[in-house]
């Protein structure tokens, strides 16, 4: 019996129909027996056998038309049970109608027992058919549980329909080396209740469940609406050493089944939850649709996401510009496989190469530029300041100058929070680039030109190439130690899609000269980030995985800022996006100082280059011991540090 029920074979639908008819026949006989308690002859009379035959024909017709016999009993749902109920009711009504209209004229008909018999039969047959399905389903799962070697004990977060779907999806999986202990939900209306024989526990019971039953994992749904409760439960699990598994929304499941081995662990990005950014998608689409769009740094973390999101806006042409051959090739393959798009042109170029860039502009005539190309790694740029100047300053200048020459409509530059009160070469070089394109905007206002220069400024993006999260992950996989520069260091974080949404929205709302700033919430302590990642991996910080402090690297600072103290903030129509009302400088002066910087850069003298950067960006105070001793002297009237040249406000 166990082998018959437990095997994965689905038995013939006609066998199911035959069993249903047997139940219907027994039910009808039992109903008449209840009515005719003492007259057994009436039960087995020829007229009653005729009624049974006609009733069977009717139920066969109804059951077949409603496809009652085609369901797989072991997977019966509430909907299947309700369909059985409706089918029995419909068959009873049809049988009654046929009896009154056709049979009563030819056969003796006793109305006193016929109607009560139908009513009793309805309840008996419906109950037996439903009981068959529930019983087989429960027996099937019971026998499957006997086969299970419960290597893992699981909890499911939530006690709503989504959580129930997760349980049902796992129950139907062929991979059964786990047992579902119950649900976690702090809603007082659900606590201590049961869902499909599984108890709903409060999050305060997680530690006890871990100790008593050895719970190893908790499953959470990506589309869970109770963000605060979910986060609290996750934090308790991490404290207890319980791993978190993230399940995609149910509409992404294949064939309604889940396999535990295919579910990803919860990412650290999922813990940095805040209210999502809701952008005006139609505005962005209408702005970019049918345009020729150039994306520099198109193979990088931000650039590649811009490519993906811009492709959804149906541009006329998308020019992907990068100097990294292999990543750009991989981007091309992704576009071909995912988007099936033929509007993309790949252009390998270093933005330091003005002649090659001019050829790009002459060939494709871009209308909108998203400038994501940059050298961004702080320690690398501290040792190679000349390259930071060539790419971040000269490269940006090349693009901006060509944008004016070729009547580009909009130039959107991607900057960084490290440009605010910079303490390193990278941040200072990006601030100089900001100053230049903003001075261009004001210069254009004087000469009447249409290119609008817009800047977006945000913090670190999670998962980008070389960022802290992938590094911590690889260190944890290697068994540690996890290296943190300083126990007090903090950073702002956002996801790559969020950053790109900001950039695209800036391309719509920007009028020229603005620096858009995203409300990034509270800064994250890097030490806490490391601890949470270790816990998510199922380890105990400082015990299983060591954490070492290596000291701040050259040019690093403990805290990042999104605004300079001299900058003011203006609101926009989106509550999460603000405009920095920044200081600007005259174009002629900025142009001259940048030319001086580029001339010095050709000498390969880092000290002179950094000194000139400090002239251009007075708030640049290096934390690199090699550059801290450099002093800036006002050598002429008109220097940015001279009070005789008062900055304006854009």
Residue 360: per-residue pLDDT: 95
Strand partners of residue 220: 246
Residue 592: per-residue pLDDT: 94
Q: What is the mean pLDDT of the chain?
A: 78
Q: What percent of the chain is predicted at pLDDT more than 90?
A: 23
Residue 10: per-residue pLDDT: 46
Res 381 pLDDT > 50: yes
Whole-angstrom Cα distance, residue 518 to residue 522?
Answer: 12
**pLDDT, greater one: 111 or 400:** 400
- Domain 281-616 has what CATH class? alpha beta
pLDDT in tens, 180-199: 888 888 888 888 888 877 88
- Beta pairing, strands 292-296 & 317-322: parallel
Q: Which CATH number fits domain 148-266: 3.30.1330.40, 3.40.50.720, 3.30.70.1140, 3.40.1190.20?
A: 3.40.50.720
Lowest mean pLDDT among 146-155, 396-405, 484-493, 560-569: 560-569
Res 48 pLDDT > 60: yes
**pLDDT, greater one: 120 or 446:** 120
Distances (CA, A) of 5 to 23, 69, 76, 78, 416: 19, 17, 15, 21, 63
pTM for this predicted structure: 0.65
Contact (Cβ atoms closer than 8 angstroms) between residue 460 and residue 467 = yes
Q: What sections of 201-334 are H helices per DSSP?
A: 206-213, 227-240, 281-288, 301-311, 325-334
Q: Where are the domains of the chain?
A: 2-143, 148-266, 281-616
Per DSSP (E only), the strands in 452-526 are: 452-458, 460-462, 482-484, 490-491, 493-495, 515-518, 524-525
Residue 7: per-residue pLDDT: 47
Which of 279-283, 447-451, 467-471, 593-597 is the most confident on average? 593-597
Q: What percent of the chain is predicted at pLDDT more than 70?
A: 76
State the average pLDDT over residues 247-252: 63
Start-to-end CA span in the chain (Å): 82
Q: How confident is the model at residue 464 (pLDDT cuts 50, 70, 90)?
A: low
Residue 232: per-residue pLDDT: 84
State the average pLDDT over residues 453-463: 80
Of 210, 418, 421, 576, which is the active-site residue?
418
Res 276 pLDDT > 70: no
Q: How confident is the model at residue 647 (pLDDT cuts 50, 70, 90)?
A: very low
Q: Is 562 helix (H, G, I), strand (E, B) or coil?
A: coil
Residue 107: per-residue pLDDT: 57
Residue 268: per-residue pLDDT: 59
Res 395 pLDDT > 90: yes
State the average pLDDT over residues 253-278: 53
Whole-angstrom Cα distance, residue 610 to residue 622?
Answer: 9
Within 10 angstroms of residue 623's Cβ, the number of other Cβ atoms is: 17
Residue 6: per-residue pLDDT: 44
Residue 644: per-residue pLDDT: 31
State the average pLDDT over residues 242-254: 68
Whole-angstrom Cα distance, residue 191 to residue 184?
Answer: 8
Q: How confident is the model at residue 222 (pLDDT cuts 50, 70, 90)?
A: confident
pLDDT in tens, 517-555: 877 667 788 888 888 888 877 778 888 889 999 888 877
- Residue 19 C-alpha from the chain's centroid: 48
Nearest CA-CA partner of 76 in 172, 153, 158: 172
Residue 254: per-residue pLDDT: 45
Res 333 pLDDT > 60: yes
Lowest mean pLDDT among 261-270, 393-402, 554-563, 641-650: 641-650
**pLDDT, greater one: 640 or 548:** 548
**pLDDT, greater one: 371 or 459:** 371
State the average pLDDT over residues 326-345: 87
**Could you check whether 148-266 and 281-616 share the same CATH topology?**
yes
Q: How confident is the model at residue 638 (pLDDT cuts 50, 70, 90)?
A: very low
- Is residue 418 part of the annotated active site? The answer reads yes
């Amino acid at each position: 019996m166990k082998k018959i029920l437990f095997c994965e074979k689905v038995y013939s639908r006609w066998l199911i129909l035959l069993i249903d008819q047997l139940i219907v026949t027994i039910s009808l006989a039992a109903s008449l027996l209840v009515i005719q308690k003492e007259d057994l002859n009436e039960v087995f009379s020829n007229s009653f056998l005729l009624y049974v035959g006609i009733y069977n024909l009717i139920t066969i017709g109804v059951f077949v038309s409603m496809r009652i016999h085609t369901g797989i009993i072991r997977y019966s749902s509430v909907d299947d049970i309700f369909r059985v109920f409706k089918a029995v009711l419909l068959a009873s009504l049809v049988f009654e109608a046929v009896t009154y209209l056709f049979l009563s004229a030819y056969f003796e008909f006793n109305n006193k027992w016929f109607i009560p018999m139908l009513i009793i039969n309805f309840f008996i047959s419906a109950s037996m058919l439903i009981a068959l399905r529930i019983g087989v389903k429960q027996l099937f799962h019971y026998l499957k549980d006997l086969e299970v070697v419960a290597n893992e004990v699981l909890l499911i977060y939530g006690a709503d329909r989504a959580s129930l779907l997760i349980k049902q999806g796992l129950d139907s999986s062929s991979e059964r080396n786990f047992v579902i202990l119950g649900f976690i939900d702090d809603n007082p209306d659900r606590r201590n209740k049961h869902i499909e024989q599984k108890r709903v526990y409060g999050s305060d019971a997680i530690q006890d469940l871990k100790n008593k039953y050895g719970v190893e994992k908790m499953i959470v749904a990506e589309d869970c609406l109770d963000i605060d409760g979910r986060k609290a439960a996750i934090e308790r699990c991490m404290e207890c050493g319980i791993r978190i598994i993230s399940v995609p929304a149910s509409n992404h499941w294949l064939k309604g089944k889940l396999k535990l081995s295919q579910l990803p662990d919860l990412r650290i990005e999922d813990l940095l939850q805040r209210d999502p950014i809701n952008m005006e998608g139609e505005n962005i689409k209408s702005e970019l649709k049918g345009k020729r769009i150039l994306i520099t740094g198109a193979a990088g973390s931000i650039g590649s996401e811009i490519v993906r999101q811009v492709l959804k806006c149906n541009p006329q042409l998308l020019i992907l510009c990068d100097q990294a051959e292999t990543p750009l090739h991989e981007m091309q393959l992704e576009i071909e496989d995912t988007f099936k798009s033929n509007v993309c042109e790949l252009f390998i170029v270093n933005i330091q190469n003005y002649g090659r860039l001019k050829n790009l502009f002459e060939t494709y005539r871009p209308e909108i530029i998203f400038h994501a190309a940059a050298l961004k790694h702080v320690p690398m740029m501290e040792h190679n300041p000349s390259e930071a100047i060539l790419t971040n300053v000269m490269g940006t200048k090349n693009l901006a100058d060509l944008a004016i020459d070729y009547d580009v409509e909009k130039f959107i530059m991607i900057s960084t929070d490290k440009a605010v009160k910079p303490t390193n070469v990278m941040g200072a070089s990006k601030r100089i680039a900001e100053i230049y394109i903003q001075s261009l905007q004001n210069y254009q206002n004087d000469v009447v030109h249409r290119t609008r220069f817009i800047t977006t400024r945000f913090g670190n993006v999670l998962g980008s190439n070389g960022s802290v999260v992938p590094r911590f992950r690889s260190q944890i996989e290697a068994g540690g130690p996890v290296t943190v520069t300083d126990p007090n260091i903090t950073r702002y974080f956002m996801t790559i899609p969020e950053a790109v949404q900001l950039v695209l929205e800036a391309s719509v709302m920007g009028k020229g000269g603005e620096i858009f700033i995203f409300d990034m919430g509270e800064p994250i302590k890097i030490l806490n980030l490391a601890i949470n990642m270790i816990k998510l991996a199922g380890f105990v910080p400082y015990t299983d995985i060591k954490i070492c402090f290596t000291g701040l690297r050259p040019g690093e600072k403990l805290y990042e800022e999104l605004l300079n103290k001299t900058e003011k903030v203006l609101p926009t129509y989106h509550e999460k996006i603000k405009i920095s009302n920044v200081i600007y400088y005259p174009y002629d002066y900025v142009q001259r100082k940048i030319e001086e910087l580029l001339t010095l850069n050709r000498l390969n003298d880092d000290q002179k280059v950094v000194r000139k950067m400090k002239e251009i960006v007075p708030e640049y105070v290096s934390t690199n011991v090699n550059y801290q001793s450099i002093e800036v002297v006002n050598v002429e009237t008109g220097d940015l540090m001279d009070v005789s040249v008062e900055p304006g406000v854009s």
